[in-house]
Amino acid sequence: MLFYIFFNKWVIDMEIKGPKVKDYIKKFIVEPQKKVQLKKFDSGWVQNETLKALSEDAAKDLLEKKLARDRASLADAQELLAAAHEYGVLIVLQGMDTAGKDGTIRHVMSGVNPQGCEVHGFKVPSAEEHAHDFLWRYYDVLPERGMIGIFNRSYYEDVLVVRVHPERMEALPKKLGPDAKGFWEGRYKDINAFEKHLVKNGTVILKFFLHISKDEQKNRLLDRLQNKDKYWKFSTADLAERQYWDQYTKTYEEMLSATSTEYAPWFVVPADYKWMARTFVAEVVTSAIVGLNLSYPKVSDEQIKQLMVAKKKLESE
């Protein structure tokens, strides 16, 4: 019996590692199994000793320069990711309305070859999507090997918005729906298992919660109302959602606590300052790809011989 238990454990526990990131970034990772309190994560910019010593303008300047460098490194890293064709990278972006998901995507990915990157935004599910299990619509658009896939909102909405607004939940059989005992824990477990499966098959998963304060959301919403060019961005739905700030915070905290794992960690990104959030995300994505230690595919002696024949042929034309 003991042998059986030991053997089973040995077989089941294939070691799967999470992304490699720089040491100072580790304090922004939600520790697996740890109960998250978002108020303990600073949403501002004074995040380390170097930045603390600087004025806001100087910090902004420093980080914007860093972002420019990181963008260049990310472009190189992405090229290698594509050439090696072993891993895919899934970037999940979540956050309250106005947290800066769209802007982060635009700024971080602007230097990357568009052929190596795909962005998918997820809105209210269609009737067809609601007729399937909650992971169905995401599965189809996961990044393949060599690609970076960005989810602007994701399957995490299926444990967030629908929990805050139960009426937006798909019609599940009553016995299996949100009133059933352990329903949400069950969804977290499904998500963890889904992500584990992806990681075991070569997807690197990086999940970012863009953390803004309620005051900063007010500034951003007001900004949209004070600037004619930004009127289009204002949605009265965002104002309605703002009333649920505390419920969202609680729901996010529970979700982050239950779904940050070694293999697919959550990063809580200080996002009150856009330049802070963008630099942070670029740094994590770049270091995670570099950390894979990939190399360009090797060319065999036989292939080199063929290449030289081709070269001669072209030159003699």
For Mg ion, the binding residues (CB under 5 A) are: 97
Closer to ligand AMP at the Cβ: 162 or 281? 162
Place of tokens 């238990």: 5
Give residue 197's region: left, alpha or beta (phi > 0; psi -120 to 50). Answer: alpha
Q: In what side-by-side order are the strands of the sheet with 148-152?
A: 117-121, 148-152, 88-95, 203-211, 266-270
Residue 101's nearest CA partner among 123, 86, 81 is: 123
| CA 178 – CA 166 distance, rounded (Å) | 8
Place of tokens 């016995």: 175
Q: Other CB atoms closer than 10 Å to residue 167's CB: what's the count?
A: 5
Residue 72's nearest CA partner among 103, 112, 119, 104 is: 112
Fill in the DSSP letter of residue 45.
S
Q: What is the CA radius of gyration of the chain?
A: 22
Strands 266-270, 203-211: pairing is parallel
Binder to ligand AMP among 122, 188, 194, 234 (CB under 6 A)? 122
Binder to ligand AMP among 38, 135, 161, 172 (CB under 6 A)? 161
Q: Which of Mg ion, ligand AMP, none has residue 12 at its interface (CB below 5 to 8 Å by kind)?
A: none
Q: Which of Mg ion, ligand AMP, none has residue 46 at its interface (CB below 5 to 8 Å by kind)?
A: none
| Only segment of 140-148, 157-165, 203-211, 249-257 that touches ligand AMP (CB under 6 A) | 157-165
Closer to ligand AMP at the Cβ: 64 or 223? 223
Residues binding ligand AMP: number (CB under 6 A): 10
Check binding of 195 to ligand AMP (CB under 6 A).
Answer: no
Check binding of 125 to ligand AMP (CB under 6 A).
Answer: yes
Check binding of 95 to ligand AMP (CB under 6 A).
Answer: no
CB of 307 to ligand AMP, least distance (A): 48
Binder to ligand AMP among 29, 77, 142, 162 (CB under 6 A)? 162
Q: Which helix (H) or strand (E) holds 304?
A: helix 301-315
CB of 199 to Mg ion, least distance (A): 30
Closer to ligand AMP at the Cβ: 16 or 222? 222
End-to-end CA, the chain: 74
| CA 313 – CA 317 distance, rounded (Å) | 7
Binder to ligand AMP among 85, 168, 242, 250 (CB under 6 A)? 168
CB of 2 to Mg ion, least distance (A): 55
Binder to ligand AMP among 123, 174, 175, 312 (CB under 6 A)? 123
The residues of the shown chain that bind ligand AMP, judged by CB under 6 A, are 122-125, 153, 157-158, 161-162, 168
